[in-house]
Structure 1
Amino acid sequence: MKRLIFSLFAILSIVTMQAQVVGSNHSEYTEADSLRGSLRPERTNFDVKKYHLKLKVEPERKFISGSNVITFQVEEELPVMQLDLFENMEIDSIMHQGKKLDYKRKFNAVFVQFETPLKKSITDSIEFYYHGNPIEAENAPWDGGFVWDQDDDGNPWIGVAVQGTGASLWYPNKDHQSDEPEAAQIDIAAPNGLMNVSNGRFTGKTDLGNGFTEWRWKVVNPINNYNIMINIGNYTHFSDTYKDLDLDYYVLPYNLEKAKEQFEQVQGMMECFYEKMGPYPFKEDGFKLIETPYLGMEHQSAVAYGNKYVNGYLGNDLSGTGIGLRWDYIIVHESGHEWYGNSITAKDIADMWIQEGFTSYTEAIHIECNWGKKDAQEYLKGTRRNLGNRSSIIGDYGVNSEGSGDMYFKGANLLNMIRSIYDDDELWWNTLRDYTKTFKHKTITTQDTEDFFNKATKVDLQPVFDQYLRHAALPELQFQKKDGNIEYRWKADVTDFKMPVDVFINDQETRLNATSDWKILEADVKDPKEIRVNDLEFYIENSFI
């Protein structure tokens, strides 16, 4: 991929699109949106247990062909199964117990019809054969598709990024985040001389005798559809360990020395994340960084890395503070997704802030481990310059709709603020680790997250979550002088909004238990402008009226 030179303005404008947004912020939805985003019996009546992909990738033709064996358990009687495969991909056949099944296609949905409805509780499988030229990404990872590129030596270099757009862009699956296969086998045939690196553990390769070599990888943990990945290139490999975790790196040969130096950051990152968030959630599958012809993506146990071996975000600091230039954004952010996004996954992409907000907060965690809490909070404050606060960060449910791109840094600042409301760092870190452990390898909802963090404190956090997640605007802390007193209250979208907030009065920090009703400030203050909000901890508006 040719090196792209971005202005800082362009980088700041696109960072909040790190996950590809499909069907986001629509006021009207189509039947195609519902087929992709909703859960109906054709989807809920079966639970995927395993995918076994067996594909041949032909770079010169930009062509893939092969099959996916889908193993599933029947939850309720199943006459018709909905799978998903983009309509530009051709279906060769769908086999069940040696017989071809009938199917119908509508948009990107494939409705597979069984001769006799499958009975509840049985485990079964189908073999889905297909081929075609998958959609190409014009600007991965901000749009979905294959990247057919060449390295500096002229070798084919291929990657795929499909978050948001959908894994059904290139292979048949139940393309909904609520259902993750418990395991996956990924057998990819690439031209001789090239290597394919996928998720999980390498289990072997075979020269097929036709100019192609098959590379086999096995995943033994639950994995989201969009995380299943191929990376084909003239890779060289080196490795390391952190505690009992295998660290494997696949890079282009001419970048080997730069990679060895830059990837040293992984050791300290893992030490920090283990301490603050808990152990790496996919130890059995190992951890990999793989150099890719696009910027990056959180592909589980096979993290895509394309940050050019520089610190920051392509050498820029998204916070504008300089703190973001001390570490490699793609290593930290995309690896943070292993905990939040890959291990803990939003059931509906409307709740993607669960993945992106928490992962953006891991950037601050990394900073705090290395340079202290104040720098971490200064970084988070700096990231607010990227926020628009023009639409809510929760999308519409059931129609494949993500919320606002503010989900990244607004979500991270929300978590920092909740920590400040807790006002007890030991409680905060224990709660975060418990959350990570409780929902390990699970798909969850926003309400699950709200209930968990609410339960840990006596403060009612529901109004806070409602305002920051379900409304666009920030709450406004208002002050006024009336009858010789200074009064304060919240102005917010949420009825009867209440939230404690810390302010400085005469350089002394004071907590105000503000509500929607005016309260008299119990402090010797002549002018409301003498009051200063602790804006490292609280992301709010404030005014003097």
Structure 2
Amino acid sequence: MKRIFCLLLTVSLLSSLPSAAQLLVHKEKFTRADSLRGSLTPLRTAYDIQYYHLDVTVDIEKRFISGSNLFRFRATEDFDRLQFDLFDNLEVEKVVYKDQELPFTREFNAVFVDFPSQIKKGTIDSFRVYYSGNPIIAKRAPWDGGFVFAKDSQGKDWVSTANQGLGASSWWPNKDHQADEVDSMLISISVPKDLVNVSNGRLRGKTDLKNGYMRYDWFVSNPINNYSISLNIGDYVHFKDTFDGEKGKLDLNYWVLRENLEKAKEHFPKNVDPMLEAFEYWFGPYPFYEDGYKLIDAPYLGMEHQSAVTYGNKYGNGYLGRDMSGTGWGLKWDFIIIHESGHEWFGNNITAKDLADMWIHEAFTNYSESIYIDYVFGKQAGQEYVHGNRRGILNDRPIQGPYGVNKSGSGDMYVKGGVFLNMLRTMIDDDDKWRGILRGLNKDFYHKTIDYQDLVDYISEKSGIDMDPIFAQYIQHTGIPTLEFQWDDGKLYARWIAEVDDFAMPVKIRVKGGDYKFFDLDQDFSEIILHGAEKGDIEVDVFNYYIGVLFN
């Protein structure tokens, strides 16, 4: 959820044209630090993370953290050197392997460790990193990322983390690349004993450390991406429920500030229960039954932390009380609960291998909002919501970012992504097939990382439509295609004008008042045969197709 909506009206119509859109493109320069963080070098691919044990003490008064992280890994190649990641404002105190301190060097936020002998391919081994320091403080979480140190209304400390984009290595050492998800993890957070820590997974227990601190141990039994790992410290109270889902009873755990308990008991279930029902219908079973589902009060708007969704939407509907689509449908449900929970399927179950493809997370999760509306209020309502979201599209740059430099694409990945997916549903023209594709994605890529081509190939195969040029135009380019019509000797012809070579896409066209008919068109003019068609009475389904239309 790093960015949900931005600049709602502005230049969406102007910048939808390729010529105008190109004026907004700017070239970015990337550094050695970007490549160290974003690329998969042999020093990172030589080992596959199996398990972490993160053990951290939080000194709230000093805004200081200290502790260790155990890396258990499987060697994928023979190696004697590797890279892990930790921001350089945090000190690496030592790296310990078989009771021996290892030499290491640092370059920007990368740490390079040398082992005393070669570790052979297939070996399961481990090392532990001890570290400490003052982590980055978020100025405006979750958009800029970091630690949040706040107070609740009673003056008690309230601390949380949100670091999507910024990186998990901003506060704990790990292999900070989305392509390698740890298989399971123990999260041990020690906090002042009058407070509670809530993290991902299930609470295994708590231990009084006899020094004024209590340690909370949370275990995650499913693969998890690094940026999902979170801590949440506050005067929390707990209540729970269950949901009868496709895989049985799903535990629902709610951790809220004491002052919010009564509001939460009324507000959370009425949003969570229909959300889970809708998403299990469209996307398949909740992906983390073993770890349960949690909502946690947070001192910022919200984030999709796996099995530990953080919440700060003030217990109201809409997006802080607003409907960003302008249709009214966005005021009938709590935006943060629906959107951030949608990430459990897209972002957490299915994770993009590279930050360049963060649009996979955000496009599908933006679309999940309309799918929720569709399930509760009907298909027309869902499509009206998607159409209304167009006013937030900027067409400023592609929604896919550059690979290997830890950079996502345009913020259009949210609303333009959702509009694009609704358009795919329209051209597939079979809701059972579309539902099968959405559920199939979550089944066939269950707990996996994927990239752009994985997704394009999958939807192409399951839909029977060549999606390569369609995805390329909407995901990798800035403008949108234009459908050009031309009359010649009383006959109607049409073709696509697009930035992608050999662009082709089926589209719905009709005579006013008639039924829509599909036409498979490419960049060469083809005759459009519609009984009774005359100039001025041709309509294209621009309600569901995000395209330009030109009559000559």
TM-score by length of 1: 0.95
1:204 deviates by: 0.8
Aligned to 1:67, the other structure's residue is in SS state strand
CA distance in 2, matches of 1:458, 1:47: 36
Q: Secondary structure of 2:390's match? A: helix
Which residue is equivalent to 1:511?
518
Do 1:89 and 1:131's aligned partners in 2 also have CA atoms closer than 8 Å? yes
| Structure 1 residues 232-285: Cα deviation after superposition (integer angstroms, max 9, x where no partner) | 000011111001100000111111111112112101111111111111111000
**CA deviation vs aligned residue, 1:263-321 (integer Å, no higher than 9, x gap):** 12101111111111111111000000000000000000000100000111111111111
Contact in 2 for aligned 1:12/1:318 (Cα 8 Å): no
Is residue 2:347 matched to residue 1:357? Answer: no
SS at match of 2:198: strand
Residue 248 (1) aligns with residue 253 (2): yes
1:71 aligns with 2:78: no
CA–CA separation in structure 2 for the residues paired with 1:109 and 1:25: 28
Distance in 2 (alpha carbons) for counterparts of 1:324 and 1:32: 40
Cα separation, partners in 2 of 1:25 and 1:136, compared to 1, 3 Å: farther
Give CA-to-partner distance per residue, 1:132-175, whole Å, 9 cap, x none: 00000000000010000000000000010000110000000000
Mapped to 2, the partners of 1:459 and 1:230 lie a distance apart of 44
Q: Does 1:380 align with 2:372?
A: no
Cα deviation for residue 526 of structure 1 reads 5.9
Matched residues in 2 for 1:349 and 1:84: separation?
16
Q: Distance in 1 between matches of 2:262 and 2:405?
A: 46
In 1, Cα distance between equivalents of 2:445 and 2:27? 30
Equivalent residue, structure 2, for 1:422: 428
What's the counterpart of residue 167 of structure 1? 168
Structure 2 CA distance, aligned partners of 1:103 and 1:528?
74
Alignment equivalent of 1:540, drawn from 540, 543, 547? 547
The CA deviation at 1:9 is 7.4
Contact 1:226 1:299 in 2 (8 A): yes
Deviation at 1:26, TM superposition (A): 5.4
**Which aligned runs of 4 or more in structure 1 are off by greater than 3 angstroms?**
8-13, 524-529
* Contact 2:199–2:229 (8 Å) recurs in 1: yes
Secondary structure (helix, strand or coil) at the match of 2:346 reads coil
Q: How far does residue 394 in structure 1 lie from its aligned partner after superposition? A: 1.0
Instruction: Give the CA deviation at 1:503.
Output: 2.5
CA shift in 2, pair 1:530/1:362, >3 Å = same
What is the CA–CA distance in structure 1 between the aligned matches of 2:149 and 2:421, rounded to whole Å?
A: 39
Which secondary structure state, in structure 2, belongs to the residue aligned with residue 284 of structure 1?
coil
What SS does the aligned partner of 2:149 have? strand
Instruction: Report the equivalent of 1:233.
Output: 234
**Residue of structure 1 equivalent to 2:56:** 55
The answer to whether 1:529 aligns with 2:530 is no
For 1:339, the equivalent position in structure 2 comes to 345
Of 144-153 and 392-401, the range deviating more from structure 2: 392-401
- Structure 2 contact 8–393 (Cα < 8 Å) conserved: no
CA distance in 2, matches of 1:439, 1:106: 35
- Which stretch shifts more, 110-119 or 152-161? 110-119
Q: How does 1:79-478 map to 2 (within 5 A)?
A: 79-243=80-244, 244-264=249-269, 265-478=271-484
Distance 1:289 1:482 in 2: 61
Evaluate the alpha carbon distance shift between residue 135 and residue 26 of structure 1 in structure 2; reply closer, same or farther with a 3 A threshold.
Answer: farther
Letter in 1 for 2:235: N
> Letter of the aligned partner of 2:513 in structure 1?
D
Residue 416 of structure 1: how far off its partner (Å): 1.2
Report the Cα offset of residue 193 of structure 1: 0.9
Give SS of 1:285's match: coil
Q: Aligned-pair distance for 1:11? A: 7.8
Structure-2 separation of matches of 1:184 and 1:11: 40
Return the alpha-carbon distance in structure 2 between the equivalents of residues 480 and 127 of structure 1. 68
Contact 1:25 1:401 in 2 (8 A): no
Give the count of matched residue pairs: 528
Q: In 2, Cα distance between the equivalents of 1:514 and 1:166?
A: 43
Query: Counterpart of 1:5?
Result: none
- What is the CA-CA distance between 1:484 and the residue it aligns to? 2.5
* Residues 480-504 of structure 1, C-alpha deviations (whole Å, 9 max, x = no match): 2332222211100111211111123
Change (3 A) 1:239 1:400: same
Change (3 A) 1:201 1:25: farther
In 2, Cα distance between equivalents of 1:231 and 1:462: 42
- Counting only pairs closer than 5 Å after superposition, residues 11-22 of structure 1 correspond to structure 2 as none
C-alpha separation between the residues in 2 aligned to 1:203 and 1:536?
A: 51
Shift of 1:12: 8.1
Measure how far apart 1:87 and its partner are: 0.3
SS in 1 for 2:463: coil
Distance 1:311 1:25, change over 3 A: farther
Q: Which amino acid aligns with 2:299?
A: P
Does the 8 Å contact 1:25/1:403 carry over to 2?
A: no
Number of the residue aligned with 2:14: none
Shift of 1:457: 2.6
Correspondence for 1:487 among 489, 493, 499? 493
Identity of aligned residues (%): 51
Q: Tell me the distance in 2 between the aligned counterparts of 1:273 and 1:498.
A: 31
Contact 1:431-1:453 within 8 A present in 2 as well: yes
Letter in 1 for 2:200: N
Tell me which amino acid in the other structure corresponds to 1:538.
Y
Task: Encode CA deviations 1:429-479: one digit per residue, 9 max, x unaligned.
Answer: 112111110001000111011111100233222111111111110000111
Output the amino acid matched with 1:247: L
Is the 1:25–1:395 Cα contact (8 Å) retained in structure 2?
no
Query: Judging changes above 3 Å, is the alpha-carbon distance between structure 1 residues 528 and 11 closer, same or farther for their aligned structure 2 residues?
Result: closer
Q: Is the 8 A contact 2:6 2:411 kept in 1?
A: no
Give how far 1:525 is off: 5.4
Structure 2, gaps ≥5 residues long:
11-24
- Aligned pair in 2 of structure 1 residues 25, 289: CA closer, same or farther (>3 Å)? farther
Match of 1:20 in 2: none
Q: Tell me the CA shift for residue 506 of structure 1.
A: 2.1
- Residue aligned with 1:529, SS: coil
Give the CA deviation at 1:38. Answer: 0.4
C-alpha distance in structure 1 between counterparts of 2:267 and 2:542, whole Å = 33
- Contact kept? 1:26, 1:401, Cα under 8 Å: no
Alpha carbons 1:381, 1:535 under 8 Å: kept: no
RMSD: 1.5
Residue 27 of structure 1, CA deviation: 2.3
CA distance in 2, matches of 1:12, 1:250: 37
- Structure 1 counterpart of 2:53, one-letter code: H
SS of the counterpart of 2:400? coil
- 1:419 and 1:364 map into 2 onto residues whose CA distance is 12
Q: In the aligned structure 2, how far is the partner of 1:539 from the partner of 1:9?
A: 19
- Structure 2 distance, partners of 1:512, 1:220, is 49
Q: Distance in 1 between matches of 2:27 and 2:293?
A: 37
